[in-house]
Amino acid sequence: MPTTKAPEDQYTAAPFVPQGADLTALRRAAAGCRGCPLHRAATQTIFGAGSTDARLMLVGEQPGDQEDRQGKPFVGPAGKLLDRALEEAGIDPAEAYVTNAVKHFKFTRAEPRKRRIHKAPSLREMTACGPWLAAELALVEPELIVVLGATAGKALLGSSFRVGEVRGTVLEREIHGRPERLVPTVHPSSVLRARDDDRRAAYEGLVADLEVAVRALG
């Protein structure tokens, strides 16, 4: 295992990802990932959750405060909203495999001991974490990937990804050497952040995009 501090452009999880591992072994290995500096401040690695039999994989940005404490993806307010939207679209959240582009919570604090405030991961951190997502994709082999927001989109489809241009459409792309079908949509936390009078429409837009995913799954 590498122990020396890597320069920023050399951040990568690759040496920590065991070859030929099953999901349990992958999750265990991810708990010890030191591929970028985000592990230092985070409580724990938040690996994907769900079955390798899942037909649908949902990819978010990174764990938030609640996820960092509880050890599972999408268990905080954005996750609750996502579950509601999935159910409304006709998807059982328990049947999906849910993960994030980045597996550690990145945050700042306005003052020491104050609330932890989410900070978007950098492209380098997303790229560093990519080998975990590639390993999850290779094991789960989902029939469809729902891309939740810009960070997940950039991690999977490249830095020119713009969610507004492709949301609610079925894309076919080669990702980590495998042909994948993807439906991008907004991140559920953007619905939570919408102004009161826009929130309903933002939520309905998310549900409509998830309905596209349901139809694509057939």
Residues that bind ligand URA (CB under 6 A): 60-64, 67, 73-74, 76, 78-79, 100, 189
Between 135 and 147, CB nearer to ligand URA: 147
| Closest separation in Å from C-beta 72 to ligand URA | 8
Between 10 and 108, CB nearer to ligand URA: 108
Lookup: tokens for 215? 């139809």
| Closest separation in Å from C-beta 90 to ligand URA | 22
CA atoms within 13 A on the CB side of 137: 24
Between 6 and 190, CB nearer to ligand URA: 190
CA atoms within 13 A on the CB side of 142: 30
Between 6 and 107, CB nearer to ligand URA: 107
Pick the closest to residue 92 from 210, 183, 200 (CA basis).
210
Residues in the chain: 218
Contacts 24+ apart (CB under 8 A), 193-202: none
| Closest separation in Å from C-beta 68 to ligand URA | 9
Buried-exposed string 202-211: b where 16+ CB fall within 10 A, e elsewhere: bbebbbebbb
Q: 3-class DSSP state for residue 108?
A: strand
| Closest separation in Å from C-beta 178 to ligand URA | 22
Between 18 and 95, CB nearer to ligand URA: 95
Between 50 and 64, CB nearer to ligand URA: 64
Closest chain position to ligand URA (CB): 60
Please give the full DSSP string across 57-99, using - where no structure is assigned: EEEES---HHHHHHSSTT-SHHHHHHHHHHHHHT--GGGSEEE
| Closest separation in Å from C-beta 173 to ligand URA | 20
| Closest separation in Å from C-beta 197 to ligand URA | 24
What is the distance between the alpha carbons of residues 161 and 177, in angstroms, rounded to a whole number? 19
